Amino acid sequence: MDTTLQDPLVGQVLDGRYRVDARIAVGGMATVYRALDTRLDRVLALKVMHPALAADGSFVERFIREAKSVARLAHPNVVQVFDQGTDGSYVYLAMEYVSGCTLRDVLRERGALQPRAALDILEPVLAALGAAHRAGFVHRDMKPENVLIGDDGRVKVADFGLVRAVDTVTSTTGAVLGTVSYLAPEQIEHGTADPRVDVYACGVVLYEMLSGGRPHQGETPAQVLYQHLHEDVPPPSDAVPGLPYELDELVAAATARTPDVRPHDAVALLAQVREARAALTGDQLDRVPPQALAAEHDNAADRTSVIPRALSMPRPLPVNEDEEEAAFHQEAALNRTSRLDTPPAPPARRPARPRRGLVTVVAAVLLVLGVGAGVWYINSGQFTTVPPLLAKTEAQARDRLKTAGLEVKQVKHAYSDTVRRGTVISTDPRAGARIRSNDSVTLTLSDGPETVQVPDLHGYRLDKARDALKQAGLEPGMVGQSFSDDVPKGFVIGTNPAAGTKRHAGSAIALTVSRGRPVDVPDVTGEALDQAKSDLEDAGLKVSVAPQQVNSEFDQGQVAQQTPAGDSQAADGDTVTLTLSKGPEMVEVPDVVGDSVGDAKKALQNAGFKVQEDRGLLGLFGDTVKGQSVKGGDKAPKGSTVTITIR
């Protein structure tokens, strides 16, 4: 059944511009539609946030802010964001439409992939994430559903809807945003994320591509989360015997439970992937996997959702589904410490001997649940958490810290290409960290992008100019050449941009290097070699003779060709290469006497000759060849003219 018929948005026009044509997919946070931009007449994908989330003003504000950030990611392997807006209760993103399928579709259909195919998919994914990481962003929800494979074979990463700046807290109190099968342990335990959580998720995706199944299985989200925290991802060769150890090591490195052991970002993991690929033979890369694992697939486990962090706490597994459900709701509620009330005082009664056994049991239960009155008092009275302050002004940050009962210890400054000047880049302790009340926090404010002045390199030798650029915090760019009457050959004439211009640190600066004084190259074709050399050397040029000779219209030993050509310009001291003639190529002349004019001309031209007609007065209206200037069967220089007589 086509469920899009029941979707109220299908057929509507959002924001007076985007006509919603069909529903593509439904996720945990949004629904994606195929739509037409009626203004630009192009098909695109429209991602519309679920109404429940759209009603949360702070979530929408964050969604819009992050969408603007992601739109700056110009990378061929990232699904491009075109526009963002709201229309009544609908909050949407307009994105590039990729015609094709997702990696999840491929895995459902084929199961385990050949190692070459898995790496061919993983490398562009890591290239896309690497661009995001180096721009200061984390995806946070990498999974096969967010890897699009176009009909043309291009791989693109989609759904940067959860993307956050690297230095921000990535969860709300008691909840984690993400997909349970791909969450890194630190996301589950602390709700924080840096580029290494994307590395972890990519390791899980690689395991899934190589084995056909996910490394951690469970009937409930709690069981999967527990395994992320307490069990290593197994080597894919356990599921598919015969996979090379390089692939096992790649998965192990990416999915290390300790973040510091993983590659620090997607660029570092990409380097390891390429190193592993280089170590594999063609047979290892093209090894056909056995019957794929597991085709049992729980779609709910693939959805991005808000997961109570209570699920991540170590606890005994329940013995049945009812206990699981009850425990789930109990932990979710108990984790919200702000809702706990002080227990009412018991009615006065006569003193009684304490029952040590019961007290011990109650204390143990409270310790396991982490919500005893004493624990609640400590957490709420003596400790607090550092609030998220990224992109806040110093004044705003101070106000937020004051509200949280914290003080500013120190204000530092650093350059940033992504955070606006005068706003917070990071804090120490980091946002979300547990800290004593009335303690202090160090703020680091952005000085904006680091800019440096392009140095004046006029007259520098090329290698010295490159060194000077690096010392100034810039990178040497493309090198062009140009003639100069006053700058010696090999020395810098100028830069682009010009000296004195300010550029971001690390920008590439193009250099123009002198070719020396310009010289007019004389045309020496047809000259004898000695004469040609003399003419060129008199002009300040050097001469080289090509080892091979060619047929040409010139006599043997004369110059047939020269590089650069005559009447062009070269630099003083440049070399002109001369190619000598072997003389004209001799070709047999076809016999065309008695042929029609048209046939005769065609035969001669095909043999490489030019044709001239001699009709005289008697041949003005004739069409038969009565004679030819070179007899048929004789040889003549190729390209020479044969005259035909027509009567």
User: How high is the pLDDT of residue 370?
Assistant: 39
Choose the weakest-confidence range: 150-164, 318-332, 528-542, 585-599: 318-332
The 10s digit of each residue's pLDDT in 120-142 is 999 999 999 999 898 888 888 89
Q: Where are the alpha helices (DSSP H) in 472-596?
A: 529-538
pTM of this structure: 0.47
DSSP designation for 3: G
Q: What proportion of the chain, given as a percentage, has pLDDT over 70?
A: 81
| DSSP single-letter state for residue 499 | T
pLDDT at residue number 343: 36
CATH class of 586-646: alpha beta
pLDDT at position 418 = 65
Domain with CATH 3.30.200.20 in the chain: 3-96
Alpha-helix runs per DSSP H in 171-320: 185-190, 195-211, 221-230, 236-239, 245-254, 266-279, 282-285
pLDDT tens digits along 393-450: 999 999 999 988 899 999 999 887 667 788 888 899 988 788 887 889 999 998 877 8
Q: What is the pLDDT of residues 81-128, one digit of tens each?
A: 888 888 888 889 899 999 888 999 899 888 899 999 999 999 999 999
What residues contact 390, with CB distance under 8 A and at least 6 apart?
165, 167, 168, 419, 423, 424, 425, 426, 431
194 is catalytic: no
- The whole-number pLDDT of residue 619 equals 65
DSSP state of 234: P
Say yes or no: domain 519-583 is CATH 3.30.10.20. Answer: yes
pLDDT at 73: 81
Catalytic one of 2, 141, 486, 567: 141
Quick check: 174 pLDDT over 80? no
Which amino acid, one-letter code, is at 66?
E
DSSP state letters, 118-149: HHHHHHHHHHHHHHHHHTTEE----SGGGEEE
How many whole angstroms separate alpha carbon 180 and alpha carbon 141?
A: 10
Question: For the residues 159-170, what does the mean pLDDT come to?
Answer: 49
Task: Give the pLDDT band (50/70/90) at residue 178.
Answer: low
CATH code for the part of the protein at 3-96: 3.30.200.20
* 101-310 fold: Transferase(Phosphotransferase); domain 1 (1.10.510)
Q: What span, in angstroms and rounded, lies between the C-alpha atoms of 116 and 288?
A: 10
Q: Answer yes or no: is pLDDT of 366 > 70.
A: no
- The CATH code for residues 451-516 is 3.30.10.20
Residue 265: pLDDT over 90: yes
| Architecture of the domain delimited by 386-446 | 2-Layer Sandwich (3.30)
Q: Are 244 and 284 in contact (CB under 8 A)?
A: yes
Residue ranges, comma separated, of all CATH 1.10.510.10 domains in the chain are 101-310
pLDDT at 305 over 90: no
pLDDT at 534 over 90: yes
Per-chain mean pLDDT for the chain: 80
Tell me how far apart the alpha carbons of residues 384 and 404 are, in angstroms, rounded to a whole number. Answer: 7
Using CB atoms within 10 Å of the CB of residue 364, give its burial: 0 to 12 exposed, 13 to 18 middle, 19+ buried: exposed
Sequence-ordered strand ranges (E) for 12-120: 13-14, 18-26, 30-37, 42-49, 81-87, 90-96, 100-102
pLDDT at 224 over 90: no
CATH 3.30.10.20 in the chain, residue ranges: 386-446, 451-516, 519-583, 586-646
